[in-house]
Structure 1
Amino acid sequence: MKAGKILLGILSGAAAGAALGMLFAPKKGKETRKQIAEKSNEYMYDTKSKFNDLADNLSHKYDSVKSKVRGSSKKVQAKMDGDDKIIY
């Protein structure tokens, strides 16, 4: 999860910087608030999307490792039982 925290920190910093930049922009307050709301929604959507992609990627890697471990344990069990056949 370290990569997820780093990604979240970077995106949060970028969002805060964008919001501060818009607050100091020479536009009317109503326009600025609308722009801040739109950008924050955009950043939140992007952050959720990237976090979900990261979670899916980690889940696939976990499943892959779990499958390899199961295969290896079957091979070891077959050798311990003295079987020449290895079940996959």
Structure 2
Amino acid sequence: MGKDSRTILGFLVGTAVGAVAGVLFAPDKGTVTRKKIADEAQGIKDRMSENIEHTSESISKSVKQKRASLEEELEHLMSNASYQADDVITLLEKKLADLKAKNKKYQK
């Protein structure tokens, strides 16, 4: 679990515990207290849903950025490899030409 997730979870748990404790110690009738608990639970559920949605969007955005960065890096590496392959081919062609020239001397 990441640092942000632990922070959000800690905040939500602390909020829930504080709200329930506050309602339980308030001098109201049982029906009023239960209604307050239900309302607070719904509020917590709504805030959790918003936080989950926000976290999901954040993760999705991060993944898209990482993917784009990875694709760009891969393209860069492939381009470099292609240039290096061309350099190796050019060197091998020169060596082959030298070998052919030396071989012709021996064929006379």
Q: TM-score range by the shorter chain?
A: 0.7 to 0.9
Tell whether 2:18 aligns with 1:8: no
Gaps of 5+ in 2: 85-108
Matches of 1:74 and 1:62, distance apart in 2: 18
CA RMSD across the alignment: 1.4
Matches of 1:9 and 1:63, distance apart in 2: 28
**Map 1:13-52 → 2, pairs under 5 A:** 13-52=14-53
Gaps of 5+ in 1: 84-88
Matches of 2:80 and 2:22, distance apart in 1: 66
> Secondary structure of the residue that 2:28 maps to in structure 1?
coil
Matches of 2:30 and 2:13, distance apart in 1: 23
Stretches of 4+ aligned residues off by more than 3 angstroms: none
TM-score by length of 2: 0.71
> Secondary structure of the residue that 1:7 maps to in structure 2?
helix
Matches of 1:5 and 1:59, distance apart in 2: 19
Q: Which structure has more helix as a fraction of its residues?
A: 2
**Cα deviation per residue 1:39-75 (whole Å; 9 max; x = unaligned)?**
1111111112112201211211111011111111111
Whichever of the two has the greater Rg, that structure is 2
Match of 1:67 in 2: 68
Match of 1:79 in 2: 80
